C-alpha cells in the first residue's frame, strides 16, 4: 500500500470520526502525530519508560533516543522520589 493510499483512507476516516474542529488539529495531519502525542503524554505522566516502550512497540533505547526531549517538568517528582528512597 502506498503512502498516498494510506493517507487518503486516514483523512476520510478522520473526517467521519471527529468533529470539524478536532479534524483541523495539527495532531490530525498525519497518523504519526497522534502516536507521538500519545507516547509523549505517557512519558510526561510518569509512566516508566520500559512500559511506554512496550506499549509503543519500541525498545527502551529507541524510545529514549526519540522521546527524551519531550519529557518536561519531572525534576521535582524525581527529586522527591530520591529523597523518599534515601529515608528508608
The contacts of residue 65 (CB under 8 Å, 6+ apart) are none
Cα–Cα distances (Å) from 21 to 44, 47, 57, 67, 68, in that order, read 25, 29, 30, 27, 30
Please say if the pLDDT value at position 1 is more than 80.
no
> pLDDT (tens digit, 9 = 90+) per residue, 13-48?
888 888 888 888 877 777 788 888 899 999 988 899
Of 77 and 62, more confident? 62
Residue 83 has which C-alpha cell? 529523597
pLDDT class of 8 with cuts at 50, 70, 90 = confident
Residue 22 has which C-alpha cell? 478536532
Amino acid at each position: 500500500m502506498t503512502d498516498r493510499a494510506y493517507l487518503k483512507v486516514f483523512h476520510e476516516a478522520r473526517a467521519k470520526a471527529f468533529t470539524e474542529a478536532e479534524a483541523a488539529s495539527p495532531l490530525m495531519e498525519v497518523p504519526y502525530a497522534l502516536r507521538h502525542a500519545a507516547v509523549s503524554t505517557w512519558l510526561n505522566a510518569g509512566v516508566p519508560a520500559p512500559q511506554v516502550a512496550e506499549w509503543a512497540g519500541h525498545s527502551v533505547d529507541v524510545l529514549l533516543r526519540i522521546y527524551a526531549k519531550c519529557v518536561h517538568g519531572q525534576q521535582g517528582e524525581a527529586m522527591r522520589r530520591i529523597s523518599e528512597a534515601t529515608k528508608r
